[in-house]
Amino acid sequence: MPIAPSSSSPTYPAAAVGVAVRRELEALLAERILIVDGAMGSMVQRYELAEDDFRGEAFKAHPKPLKGLNDLLVITRPDVIGEIHRKYLEAGADLIETNTFNATSIGLADYGLQDQVFEVNRAAAALAASVARDFERKNPGQRRWSPAPWGPRTRWARSRPT
């Protein structure tokens, strides 16, 4: 089950939030460099997770192997992904990307989970936002953000066969 943003989080219409956050980030970037978290996949590997960790209860009977689908851990092992987010914030990151590097219909289709795109992305966004808000509560005056990643995927569109 995804972790919902805290009730103390401000609520705004989505478009207004985007504009407000953009202005806030632009103003801060005019003052200093912002730090983005590091490689989520490398951090996940340190936990030496097994197939059962990737399956959890939700995907226990899924017909394909799921080990290596780090995006799914926001549902099956949110404790691991939340801890990684916290470590990056404690190390000084201003932005922690949601754990959705490959959470597209194309990326999840490799595992037969293309119908889970919305749920994985929603859980990842809620978890990252929750961790960021928790950090802010514990560190007043230290604003943090949780954008989605802009990384490559497991497959690329090609204009011609290779």
The answer to whether residue 13 scores a pLDDT higher than 80 is no
Would you state the pLDDT for residue 19? 86
Task: List pLDDT tens digits, range 74-92.
Answer: 999 999 999 999 999 999 9
More confident residue, 162 or 49: 49
The answer to whether residue 114 scores a pLDDT higher than 50 is yes
Task: List pLDDT tens digits, range 146-158.
Answer: 988 755 555 544 4
Round to whole Å and give the CA distance between 125 and 119. 10
Confidence of residue 51 (pLDDT cuts 50, 70, 90): very high
Would you state the pLDDT for residue 2? 36
Rounded to an integer, the average pLDDT of 120-124 is 96
Would you state the pLDDT for residue 133? 96
Rounded to an integer, the average pLDDT of 49-63 is 97
Would you state the pLDDT for residue 20? 86
